[in-house]
Homo-oligomer: A and B are copies of this chain.
Amino acid sequence: MINVAVIGYGYWGPNLVRNFLSAGCHVKTVVDMNENRLFALKKAYPFIESSMDIDSTLADTQIDAVAIALPVTLHYPIVKKALLAGKHVVVEKPMTKSAATSRELIDIALREKKVLMCDHTFLYTGAVRKISQLIKDEQLGSIEYFDSVRINLGLFQSDINVIWDLAPHDISILNYIMEKSPTSIVATGLSHTGNDMEDIAYLTMLYDDNFIAHASVSWVSPVKIRKVLIGGTKNMVVYDDIEPTEKIKIYDSGYRIKSDEDQKKMRIDYRTGDIFIPKIDTTEALSGMVTDFMQAIDKGRKPVSDAELSLSVVTILEAAEKSIKNHGKEVKL
């Protein structure tokens, strides 16, 4: 059995603890600086040790792996410490605040022969796995665009802007299903709080072929929207993560509007073919992530959410931030 420590018990930490327990791990220690949170931990799980000291937890030789759910700016130093202390590490997204530090952590993990992965939870959802499969099975044809809207009223964070908070979801999904990287980024955005932290932003990812990707992210929308459109020459997918049971809808795109007469019909009808809503697996995504992490440790298997993918996400985020600060100037990768 693998012994795990969870570092950080704020919003996401309790989900990690619950899923590590369900996966049959021994959660030995949970670290947090907040007494109330540790009190809540004791009430729910009297058998787990609580601690306020990261260093001594990392020094505990009984602990094989740590899950880190801390503010983004702490990812780099704590992950580094944990890897150097000989722990396998899973860290919340995004991996770090810069491509350089992410690269350094990957190199350390390789050298130390430890698993390093970033918790891009969406890659473990039934919906994303279904879309990935549809693409692999060439059900969509040649993919022409990826268009994501991820907006809601959100927590104004003080250390990262909305791009670093929300766009890792879109970009990790995009990179995972498309298996290719953009050649340049154009991004715009605005901060309404006077601290230069954008609360609304728009990212375009440009490629060297007939494909384009875009993400709208916002902390200031009155409605919650989580909608991704993926258009292929054969079929198009609408992935609406708010929908409880119809997350993935597949539309025939073989027919395109070519005449006035077509258009007149479309004004009444809006669509052109059948729609198919596949049943998708509803297993909790985080449980898949935890299992994947365990198997990466046990069997040396490359995880779905592997560190190179996480680095590519950080690379794009960094470019996007640079582009925003320069009014949409194209940043080549």
Contacts and interface: CB of A to CB of B under 8 A. Distances in A.
Interface stretch (A58-66, A85-93, A216-224): A216-224
A325 interface: no
Interface string A268-281: 11111111111100
Interface in A42-56: 43, 46-47
B229 A212 contact: no
A144 interface: yes
B245 A222 contact: no
Contacts of A221: 147, 229, 231, 236
Nearest to A327: B330
A1 B17 CA distance: 29
B257 A153 contact: yes
Interface string A6-29: 000011000000000100000000
Contacts of A214: 188, 202, 216
Categorize the interface residue count of chain A.
35 or more
Contact of A277 (B151, B218, B260, B277): B277
Contact of A276 (B149, B151, B277, B323): B277
A57 to B, nearest CB: 22
A238 B220 CA distance: 12
Nearest to A230: B222
A188 B152 CA distance: 24
A216 B224 CA distance: 18
Closest 5 CB pairs of A and B: A186-B328, A222-B251, A275-B277, A188-B204, A222-B236
Interface of A: 10-11, 21, 43, 46-47, 144-145, 147, 149, 151-156, 184, 186, 188-190, 192, 200, 202, 204, 206, 210-212, 214, 216, 218-224, 229, 231, 236-238, 244-246, 249, 251, 253, 256-260, 262-266, 268-279, 282, 323, 327-330
Given A200-B212, A274-B279, 9 more contacts: A10-B260, A21-B43, A145-B200, A149-B149, A154-B263, A221-B236, A245-B269, A271-B279, A274-B277
